[in-house]
A and B are shown apart, each in its own frame.
Chain A
Amino acid sequence: MKQELVDKIKANPDYQELVSKRSSFSIKLTIAMLVVYFTFILTIAFNPAALGARISPDSVTTIGIPIGIAIILFAFILTGIYTKRANGEFDDLNNKIKQSIKED
């Protein structure tokens, strides 16, 4: 890529909007995943009994099982949220940027 093109894209407000919005979005989602997972894994390391509590006195099912399944679903839902926004809003912005360099 030529330097003039790089400078031109960088000066494009759509590009700046795309990069700042997408970066902050992906960082937020990454942190959400890391916090959920590390909370889970550190609970196992420091206080495994917390996950071994029964969900009700007459059931052998422990609270750890719905939590574990919920983390799997959470990971999937996060990828869905990101893909939806990136394939819609972010790609629209990106197409505008591509359009703007095509016009010259």
Chain B
Amino acid sequence: MNMNRIFLFLILGTIAVFASGTIDGEIVKQPLNVSAIIMFVIFVSGTLGITYWAAKRTKSAKDFYTAGGGITGFQNGMAIAGDYMSAASFLGISGLVYLKGYDGLIYSIGFLVGWPIILFMIAEPLRNLGKYTFADVASYRLRQTPIRSLAAAGSIATVILYLIAQMVGAGKLIQLLFGLEYEIAVVLVGVLMILYVTFGGMLATTWVQIIKAFLLLSGATFMAIAVMANFDFDFSALFAKAVEMKNTESLDIMSPGGLVSDPVSAISLAVALMFGTAGLPHILMRFFTVSDAKEARKSVFFATGFIGYFYILTFIIGFGAIVMVFQNPQYLDLAKQAISGGSPILGGKNMAAIHLSHAVGGDFFLGFISAVAFATILAVVSGLTLAGASAISHDLYASVFKKGKADGMAEMKVSRIATIALGIIAIFMGIAFEQQNIAFVVGLAFAIAASANFPILFLSMYWSKLTTRGAVVGGSLGLATAVALVVLGPIVWVQILGNAEAIFPYKYPALFSVTVSFVSIWFFSITDGSHDAVAEREAFEAQYVRSQTGIGAEGASEH
């Protein structure tokens, strides 16, 4: 295999990421897709109009970071769903169902079950204690400089990794769907995202996410209904036809396959998805856009409903693609078939949902779904960039460098500059990683979120004995362990670096790195006898009262 090229990137000087190889072979650029481009232009003009409207309403730092705190629970639930349902989950999970059937459902369930836990444990204290970023909560009674620096490092690492995955996905998708050059596609996504976030802040980002969630849910609903209509809405008939198409006696696609094969991997994946979701900075930030804990709870309720519904739709879409796309000569990649046999579809398995949209709704609907996929990427990268920019401006600039003495205007200016910088980094990374195997990138982002961000956040809320030393040492060790185990694991060490055997045998490191994080936070906290540590423990009581009641909380009505 062609795996000679090794790239070394230093992210924040601490995280080394290795990558090489290709994703799905050469992508053949498609002819210009006119209906998709028209619909996409409509979406972009609409969202730029919203950005213009939002820009006039974004006057203070609070407006910029949290849309003034005036988003309703329903709107925020929709926006969270818009943030969370990335193109990777729409195309990736339906592609996984298309290829492996039931395994796709296992994956979706893992992505969903973190949400109830966020509601029961995180949402309220987060809303009651924080202002703009989750570091506000983590550093509430601990020393600002070290905790904010670490939280910002965890946030920025998560955001950049996630951005790389989105940008590369965007470039390939747009190349395939719209017939644009890869580089042009990446630059276009980067520029639009910079425009939304720099001018419209959280208000524009929220509305881009709401509109995108609405379009994606409508499009996916239509596809699922169109598929089911062919089978008189009888699931058994759909499954029976799919099994027949796959031509297997063994019901492979109807049962768990190789996604999680051993107990350690299974638990480790579960830990990564659950705790990782609760440690994603762009998701946590969304809880500050609502007025109080009541609306924060409603947000999770609606978000869980939308996301769960969406995963059920992707399952139907995946099976629909088995029936209507698999072995349909119209969608076959004949060149690839001639070499490797089987029935590969154009653009690889992640295109299953896209081909299905053509099969059920013709060129027009293909254009619609393509535009939705593009919109999806824009919405997700905007949320990510805003979260990364907030970590830079609110945590690093205002709290660490200015020691909390920055004025709101200067802070907002820094976050706009940070947005532009992140956008440019994302464009360059997107281009640099074009030919690289980025399969591990989102997994690494979740592992870091689960191992560094989540333990600090969770323990700062609930464990009175947590100290700055414990949080900094434990959080850093968790982060370092997650990165090291991903690098030494089967995907990077074997598939990308070409070594014969993985030093760390599991694909998912979270079980180990999260344990390292919690244990070392515990150990370095209880052994901390410093003067500061005593004060930090004493301050827990007042923090806990505020986290439980919201009295004194940011943006709450005065009492």
Contacts and interface: CB of A to CB of B under 8 A. Distances in A.
A6 B541 contact: yes
Contact of A68 (B105, B235, B243, B262): B105
B266 A42 contact: yes
Nearest to B259: A44
B465 interface: no
Given A18-B548, A60-B251, A83-B298, A26 B260 contact: no
B549 A82 contact: no
B254 A62 contact: yes
B551 A76 contact: no
Q: Is the interface of B mostly helix, strand, loop or mixed?
A: helix
Specify which of A1, A30, A102 lies most central, judged by the most chain B CB atoms within 10 Å of its CB.
A1
Interface in B222-271: 235-236, 239-240, 243, 251, 254-257, 260-263, 265-267, 269-270
A83 B105 contact: no
A99 to B, nearest CB: 8
Contacts of A37: 109, 113, 270, 274
Interface string A52-83: 10100001111011001101110110111011
Contacts of B261: 45
Interface residues of A, number: 55
A10 B540 CA distance: 13
Interface in A6-57: 6, 9-10, 15, 18-19, 22, 26-27, 29-30, 33-34, 37-38, 40-42, 44-46, 48-49, 51-52, 54
B507 to A, nearest CB: 14
B295 to A, nearest CB: 9
Contacts of A19: 548
Interface string B304-339: 110010011000000000000000000000000000
B546 interface: yes
B551 A101 contact: yes
A91 interface: yes
Nearest to A62: B254
A42 B541 CA distance: 39
Contacts of B542: 1, 3, 6
B386 interface: no
Given A33-B113, A62-B254, A64-B256, A9 B108 contact: no
A32 to B, nearest CB: 9
Given A60-B251, A75-B112, 19 more contacts: A6-B542, A15-B545, A27-B120, A38-B267, A41-B267, A45-B260, A49-B255, A59-B236, A60-B239, A60-B254, A62-B102, A62-B254, A75-B308, A82-B116, A91-B293, A94-B549, A97-B549, A97-B551, A98-B549
Interface of A: 1, 3, 5-6, 9-10, 15, 18-19, 22, 26-27, 29-30, 33-34, 37-38, 40-42, 44-46, 48-49, 51-52, 54, 59-62, 64-65, 68-69, 71-73, 75-76, 78-80, 82-83, 86-87, 91, 94, 97-98, 101-102
30 contacts: A3-B542, A5-B551, A9-B551, A27-B120, A30-B117, A30-B121, A33-B116, A41-B269, A42-B263, A42-B266, A42-B267, A45-B260, A45-B263, A45-B267, A48-B256, A52-B256, A62-B255, A68-B106, A68-B109, A69-B312, A71-B113, A72-B108, A72-B109, A72-B112, A72-B311, A75-B113, A79-B115, A79-B301, A82-B120, A94-B550
Interface of B: 102, 105-106, 108-110, 112-113, 115-117, 119-121, 124, 235-236, 239-240, 243, 251, 254-257, 260-263, 265-267, 269-270, 274, 293-294, 297-298, 300-301, 304-305, 308, 311-312, 541-542, 545-546, 548-552, 559
